């Protein structure tokens, strides 16, 4: 009986370790991630699409997501921020273009092209995603319907 319990525990542990390592994620993606984020913890991998992998992880107590192409090239890192962490120039650009709107969510997106601030706002009955670059230029304005908002 005791040998059976030990065997079951061993199988459970082996299954857990296999899931934690996600052997389907390409080695070059894992290597690039480890090099770029050496202090990342609690890493979870998912295939974003046919050419991209996404890691969700924690670093310095903050939740991040980072995307890499299948060759291991870094594409983007995102994390949520508070309004108080957004530069005044960016807040001014948003409130000037969308007065009387309510900010529901803010993320910072770092890419090879630079830093972008992504806002989910509500203006009346309309939900929108607004992306502003680090110079205060609105680079994207997209209407969101209820389904889009619920899935983000």
Per-position DSSP letters for 38-95, written without gaps between them: TT-EEEEEEEEETTEEEEEEEETTEEEEEEEETTS-EEEEEEE--GGGS-HHHHHHHH
3-state DSSP call for residue 116?
Answer: strand
Which helix (DSSP H) or strand (DSSP E) does residue 37 occupy?
none
State the pLDDT at residue 147.
56
Tokens of 89: 């120039």
What does the block give as tokens for 119?
């806002």
Whole-number Å distance between alpha carbons of 98 and 121? 9
What pLDDT, on a 0 to 100 scale, did the predictor assign at position 62? 96
pLDDT band at 127 (very low <50, low <70, confident <90, very high): very high
What is the pLDDT averaged over residues 115-137?
95
Task: Please give the pLDDT value at position 7.
Answer: 42
The alpha carbon of 79 is separated from its chain's Cα centroid by a whole number of angstroms, namely 6
Could you tell me the pLDDT band of residue 152, with boundaries at 50, 70 and 90? very low
CA distance 146 to 88: 30
Q: pLDDT: is 6 or 122 the higher one?
A: 122
- Sort 122 into a burial class: Cβ within 10 Å, 0-12 / 13-18 / 19+: middle
| pLDDT, the chain, mean | 85
Distances from the Cα of 80 to the Cα of 7, 47, 137, 138, angstroms: 43, 21, 20, 19
Query: For residue 124, what pLDDT is reported?
Result: 85
* CA–centroid distance for 29 within its chain: 16
């Amino acid at each position: 009986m005791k040998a059976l319990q030990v065997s079951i525990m061993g199988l459970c542990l082996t299954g857990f370790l296999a899931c934690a390592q996600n052997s389907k994620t390409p080695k070059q993606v894992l290597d690039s991630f480890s090099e770029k984020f050496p202090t990342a913890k609690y890493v979870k991998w998912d295939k974003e699409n046919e050419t991209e992998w996404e890691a969700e992880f924690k670093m310095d107590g903050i939740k991040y997501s980072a995307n890499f192409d299948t060759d291991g090239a870094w594409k983007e890192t995102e994390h949520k921020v508070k309004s108080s962490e957004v530069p005044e120039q960016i807040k001014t650009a948003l409130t000037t273009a969308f007065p009387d709107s309510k900010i529901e969510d803010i993320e910072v997106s770092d890419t090879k092209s630079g830093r972008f601030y992504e806002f989910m706002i509500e203006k009346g009955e309309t939900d929108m995603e607004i992306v502003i670059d680090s110079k205060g230029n609105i680079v994207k304005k997209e209407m969101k319907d209820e389904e889009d908002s619920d899935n983000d």
